């Protein structure tokens, strides 16, 4: 079976070329063709000899996930649904802002962690995405946005607040990646790390480690491993100020309770850890940011009281962190309501008055099934507005 080189990082490509009797520098050429030029066709890789192109076509391929649908909200948020076979689909969301374009990338089909407020969690777990399916989302978004006429990408004048939204940068439409889509990335560790290495590689997307953020519900041993193997910016889905409530909202908390999770966060941002190891590789030089982003979804009358905000301040006082308060994106039968703005403000004030940085995330893409997993859920079971048919097509 032809190997899909889309998911090969520099190391894997080097091994691959050695295996087929070619020089290792070919890996750099391939990365540039696939990820920078967006060329999946070996025949168009004109600085490879005709013989090598034929050899590659014989034993390998570059297979891109197939697009099922695309939608765009009035605020410029784009959501693509990509087919990953067997009737399954994943979501990739692009959020344009004035000076950057952020892509939210999925790591699994469904999710096993069953967070109470999450549309993806309700679907259950199907399978891990391969490295190719993860990096394929960035390939797809970069390619699609790069091909759009500049006029359509420069901004909009009809925003509700009059703000002019940018579409990122013309050269690099996706400037930031957040591993925050469907699935828990740290339970698909190897594939996610390989995909992030491609994101960081100068011969591929060349993103800085500060601009790639991995968001986890709190898989403690894997947080330590991430720091060792591919430290990027870390976000942790906290959502509750104590174990009793977090056990309900984020059930993985029963396995890795808050005390363990916060200790792992501290280790992650500790600049001294690893410095005493001679000849450390760049991967061992610690986290690219000196804080963890704590995400906190605001659920009306569940976790949003002033008293709970005070509890949160006390809980996290020893960990350098910034808070991102997230308005809940409702979906059918979720059983939760979005906190009213006044409760969110009161909660935020407690954090700010305690000297913490606390921002409220702007709601994005409400008109295009904004809650993570909503759109893909419609593919599988017809939830939230009727099923979407996935045409039966070969990948590529
Ligand atoms: S919030 Fe994240 S970890 Fe929790 S069920 Fe949803 S996708 Fe999984």
Q: How many helices (H) and strands (E) does the chain have?
A: 13, 14
pLDDT at 290: 84
Rounded mean pLDDT, 33-42: 96
Q: For residues 55 and 168, state if they share a domain.
A: no
* H or E element in which residue 134 lies: helix 131-147
In a domain, 375, yes or no: no
Q: What are phi and psi of 214, to 5 degrees?
A: -105, 130
Atom 4 of ligand 1, nearest CA residue: 115
Ligand 1 site, CB within 6 A? 111, 113-115, 118, 120-121, 182-184, 217, 237
pLDDT at 274 > cutoff 70: no
- Split at pLDDT 50, 70, 90, the class of 379 is very low
SS3 state at 23? coil
Query: Within a domain: residue 53?
Result: yes
Do 135 and 116 belong to one domain? yes
Residue 126 is predicted with a pLDDT of 93
Q: Is the pLDDT of residue 355 over 80?
A: yes
State percent of the chain over pLDDT 90.
71
Instruction: Give the distance (Å) from ligand 1 centre to CA of residue 365.
Output: 19
Flag whether 311 is in a domain.
yes
Would you state the pLDDT for residue 323? Answer: 97
Which residue out of 115, 118, 265, 372 is catalytically annotated? 372
Q: Which residue has the tokens 């061992």?
A: 284
Same domain, 47 and 85: no
pLDDT surpasses 50 at 156: no
For residue 372, the model assigns a pLDDT of: 55
Summarised one tens digit per residue, pLDDT across range 292-308 is 999 999 999 999 999 99
Between the CA of 235 and the centroid of ligand 1 the distance, in Å, is 13
Tell me what pLDDT residue 284 has.
46
As a whole number, mean pLDDT of residues 140-167 equals 55
The pLDDT assigned to 243 comes to 98
Cα(113) to ligand 1 centroid in Å equals 6
Task: Name the β-bridge partners of 245.
Answer: none
358 pLDDT exceeds 70?
yes
pTM: 0.87
382 found inside a domain: no
207 in a structural domain? yes
C-alpha to C-alpha distance for 48 and 51, rounded to whole angstroms: 8
State how many domains the chain has: 2
Average pLDDT, the chain: 85
Reply yes or no on whether the pLDDT at 366 is more than 90.
no
Query: What does DSSP assign to residue 32?
Result: I
Contact of 280 with 271, CB cutoff 8 Å: no
- Domain extent, residue 26, equals 3-61
């Amino acid at each position: 079976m032809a190997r899909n080189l889309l998911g090969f990082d520099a190391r894997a490509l080097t091994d691959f070329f050695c295996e087929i009797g070619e020089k290792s520098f070919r890996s750099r050429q391939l990365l540039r063709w696939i990820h920078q030029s967006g060329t999946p066709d070996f025949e168009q890789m004109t600085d490879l000899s005709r013989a090598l192109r034929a050899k590659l076509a014989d034993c390998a391929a570059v297979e891109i996930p197939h697009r099922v649908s695309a939608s765009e909200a009035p605020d410029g948020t784009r959501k693509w649904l990509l087919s990953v076979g067997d009737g399954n689909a994943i979501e990739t969301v692009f959020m344009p802002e004035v000076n950057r374009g952020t892509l939210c990338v999925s790591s699994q089909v469904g999710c096993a962690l069953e967070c109470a407020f999450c549309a993806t969690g309700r679907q259950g777990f199907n399978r891990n995405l391969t490295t190719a399916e993860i990096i394929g989302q960035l390939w797809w978004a970069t390619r699609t946005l790069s091909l759009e006429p500049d006029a359509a990408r420069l901004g909009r004048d009809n925003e509700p607040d009059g703000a002019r939204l940018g579409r990122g940068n013309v050269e690099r439409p996706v400037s930031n990646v957040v591993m925050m889509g469907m699935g828990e990335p740290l339970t698909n560790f190897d594939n996610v790390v390989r995909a992030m290495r491609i994101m960081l590689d100068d011969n591929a997307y060349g993103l800085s480690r500060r601009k790639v953020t991995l968001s986890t519900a709190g898989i403690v041993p894997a947080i330590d491993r991430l720091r060792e193997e591919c430290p990027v910016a870390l976000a942790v889905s906290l959502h509750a100020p104590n174990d009793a409530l977090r056990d309900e909202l984020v059930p993985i908390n029963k396995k890795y309770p808050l005390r363990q999770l916060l200790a792992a966060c501290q280790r992650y941002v500790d600049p001294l850890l690893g410095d005493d190891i001679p000849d450390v590789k760049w991967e061992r030089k610690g986290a690219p940011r000196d804080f963890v982003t704590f995400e906190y979804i605001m659920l009306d009358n569940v976790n949003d009281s002033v008293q709970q905000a005070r509890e949160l301040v006390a809980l996290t006082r020893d960990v350098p962190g910034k808070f991102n308060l997230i308005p809940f994106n409702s979906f059918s039968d979720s059983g939760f309501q979005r906190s009213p703005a006044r409760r969110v403000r009161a909660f935020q004030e407690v954090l700010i008055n305690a000297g913490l940085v606390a921002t409220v995330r702007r709601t994005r893409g409400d008109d295009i099934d904004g809650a993570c997993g909503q759109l893909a859920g419609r593919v599988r079971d017809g939830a939230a507005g009727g099923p979407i048919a996935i045409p039966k097509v070969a990948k590529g």
